[in-house]
Structure 1
Amino acid sequence: MAAKQTPAPAAAAAKPRGMSLHIGLNAVSADHYGGWSGELAACEFDALDMAAIAKSKGLKATIPLTKKGTRGNALAGIRAAAKSLKSGDLFFLSYSGHGGQVPDVTGEEADKQDETWCLFDGQLIDDELYHELSRFAGGVRILVLSDSCHSGTVTRAGPPAAPTGAPALLSQRPKLMPLAVALRTYRDHQAFYDKLQHDLAKVAGNAVDPDAALAQVAVSGRRTGLVKKFKPTAILISGCQDNQTSMDGEHNGAFTEQLLSVWNHGAFKRNYANFHAFIKSRMPATQTPNLFTLGSAGVFLAQRPFAL
């Protein structure tokens, strides 16, 4: 009589994987930005510190700094992660540098401006970022931390005034491309930025407007119904409100400095909602970090920050 065979054990569930991209720019190319190089002090430190957290949690990190912080490298890094990661995996994207704006030519922005990240050789428009994130597989968790200015208005609060006669310090610099530079940069490269927006509008069709989709999340867990077509789930924490500026520092940006303090080398044990609240409580009234989500982020918000 044949021996009774023991059923093979069920295959263990695949362990979630993680990838991260950390962009830090202490300057931009004056060739693209009309002679403005936008020197900052701490953005490379910010990127390196975010990468250190990522590596400590088992994520594979890519770190394009200043001259390597190009549009091509940023898009390639995001697209590589989108191609590789599956449901349950984590993509951690951080940016530290100037925020800017270009005129909206497709008509979806109420203030007629599209917000940007000022990469070394050109700006990355918010519509582009939203489109790239929407290409991730369903169930992928995306964490975006941005220590920059993202306001679409020109009436944002300015940086605190230095005492009369005091020298301008790097630590007093806002991470904001000056309006005159933004206008000059757009004028010099209008065909490039207009084509980007028109091409994205054709691809998006009737997709949800990214700024409408970035609905603020209350601690109560209120969800937005505006992002039904967004398959992954994303948490975005920005360094300030839309009418404020994120400030540079000597060793870290103001937002990143407080984030690292709250994280405390991994001693922080609470969830993302608490993480944002603790960072916010340490910041001055002139710079209040904001929390947004894309997709169904309730479960993600309840997790410990950076956990695979």
Structure 2
Amino acid sequence: MAKTAEHKAKAVSIHIGLNSVDPKHYAGWSGDLLACEFDANDMAAIAHDAGMKSTLLLTTKATRANVLAAVRAASKKLQAGDLLFVTYSGHGGQIDDVSGEEEDKKDETWCLYDGELIDDEVFLELSRIAAGVRVLVLSDSCHSGTVIRARVPEGSTAGRSKMMPPSVAMRTYREHQAFYDKLQRDVAEAAGKASVPTPDSALARVAVSKRLTAIANECKAAVILISGCQDNQTSLDGDHNGAFTEQLLRVWNHGAFKGNYAKFHAAIKARMPRTQVPNLFTLGPVGKLLTERPFTP
């Protein structure tokens, strides 16, 4: 989006990486990973090179309160033409959907240090961002494509998965059910009733629930999400980067990449195995944003 004399476009970024979570909240499970903090630091380096002001939240600092506060603080500062860049690397989880609007009866989550952040909460925060703001979200986690349809069995030996084991997810939800049920009800109340989605507010290639349709209809920002895997797949951790982030960095090649977001996603996807295929979906009026070079302030 072009800069104007009245307002010089600015860009801010938030980078979240968790190599573990607090066992006190997750039924004794610490979810140890190796590369998620590296992922967050590498994404922060890209943001720095592009001249963005960044917030870095690693493991114990990546709490629900800190992440929501960072997104809300950035949202308040942003005007049309500005860019918000958010990255997450860590476990993906699931909780029971109390509204009955999800086909698989589950809501997807980011596993933050002291509790899960529900996908509906993320969408609600994005819907409150000012019209004309550009938003890029990169999620290197499981359940990050759209909605999970098939699970990777517990005990899989196909590398370190970023999926919270289903048994842990179930125990965590049961131990904190009142908390997570209230979060979902609060989002549903804030979203209001769904209406027929407009072309600009529909989530691309996503069968949305009535609740997400209501949230989508309120979104005035242009949002692109590129995630680490499809619905029926799992994202893998690595020794230095997650599998998705590693290929993203190779495609970006320290800024040598010159294509747009659509080509960026396609190039990353081409480098990934069929067992982990990055997904892309959008929210709001993204036609022009998709044609821009990635990370352009």
Assess same fold via TM > 0.5.
yes
Q: Residue deviations 1:227-274, cap 9 Å, x none?
A: 443100100000000100000000000000000000000000000000
How far did residue 206 of structure 1 move? 1.6
2 CA distance for matches of 1:289 and 1:17?
28
Q: Is 1:241 the equivalent of 2:230?
A: yes
What is the 5 A alignment of 1:13-162?
13-150=6-143, 152-153=147-148, 155-157=150-152, 162=157
How far did residue 159 of structure 1 move? 9.0
How far did residue 12 of structure 1 move? 2.3
Mapped contact 2:127–2:216 kept (Cα < 8 A) = no
The one-letter code of the counterpart of 1:14 is H
Q: Residue deviations 1:255-296, cap 9 Å, x none?
A: 000000000000000000000000000000000000000011
Shift of the 197–159 alpha-carbon distance from structure 1 to 2, 3 Å rule, reads: closer
Partner of 2:170 in structure 1? 183
The one-letter code of the counterpart of 1:173 is R
> Structure 1 residue runs of 4+, over 6 Å off?
none
Mapped contact 1:240–1:290 kept (Cα < 8 A) = yes
Q: How many residues align?
A: 283
Shift of the 178–266 alpha-carbon distance from structure 1 to 2, 3 Å rule, reads: same
SS in 2 for 1:291: strand
Q: Residue deviations 1:112-138, cap 9 Å, x none?
A: 100000000000000000000111000
Partner of 1:3 in structure 2? none
How far did residue 111 of structure 1 move? 0.9
Mapped contact 2:79–2:132 kept (Cα < 8 A) = yes
Partner of 1:173 in structure 2? 160
The one-letter code of the counterpart of 2:182 is K
Mapped contact 2:142–2:162 kept (Cα < 8 A) = yes
Shift of the 28–290 alpha-carbon distance from structure 1 to 2, 3 Å rule, reads: same
How far did residue 209 of structure 1 move? 10
Q: TM-score, normalised by structure 2?
A: 0.90
Partner of 1:280 in structure 2? 269
What is the aligned-residue identity percentage? 64
Partner of 1:7 in structure 2? none
The one-letter code of the counterpart of 2:293 is R
Q: TM-score, normalised by structure 1?
A: 0.87
2 CA distance for matches of 1:158 and 1:263?
33
The one-letter code of the counterpart of 1:51 is A
The one-letter code of the counterpart of 1:203 is A
The one-letter code of the counterpart of 1:133 is L
Structure 1: any 5+ residue segments left out of the alignment?
Answer: 1-10, 163-170, 218-223
The one-letter code of the counterpart of 2:91 is H
Mapped contact 1:97–1:148 kept (Cα < 8 A) = yes
Structure 2: any 5+ residue segments left out of the alignment?
Answer: 207-212
The one-letter code of the counterpart of 1:156 is R
The one-letter code of the counterpart of 1:296 is P
Greater shift, 298-307 or 196-205, is seen at 196-205
Mapped contact 1:21–1:63 kept (Cα < 8 A) = yes
The one-letter code of the counterpart of 2:128 is R
Q: Is 1:251 the equivalent of 2:240?
A: yes
Shift of the 120–161 alpha-carbon distance from structure 1 to 2, 3 Å rule, reads: closer
How far did residue 214 of structure 1 move? 3.0
How far did residue 61 of structure 1 move? 0.4
Partner of 1:231 in structure 2? 220
Shift of the 172–105 alpha-carbon distance from structure 1 to 2, 3 Å rule, reads: same
How far did residue 156 of structure 1 move? 2.5
How far did residue 207 of structure 1 move? 4.3
Shift of the 19–146 alpha-carbon distance from structure 1 to 2, 3 Å rule, reads: same
1 CA distance for matches of 2:104 and 2:202?
16
The one-letter code of the counterpart of 1:261 is R
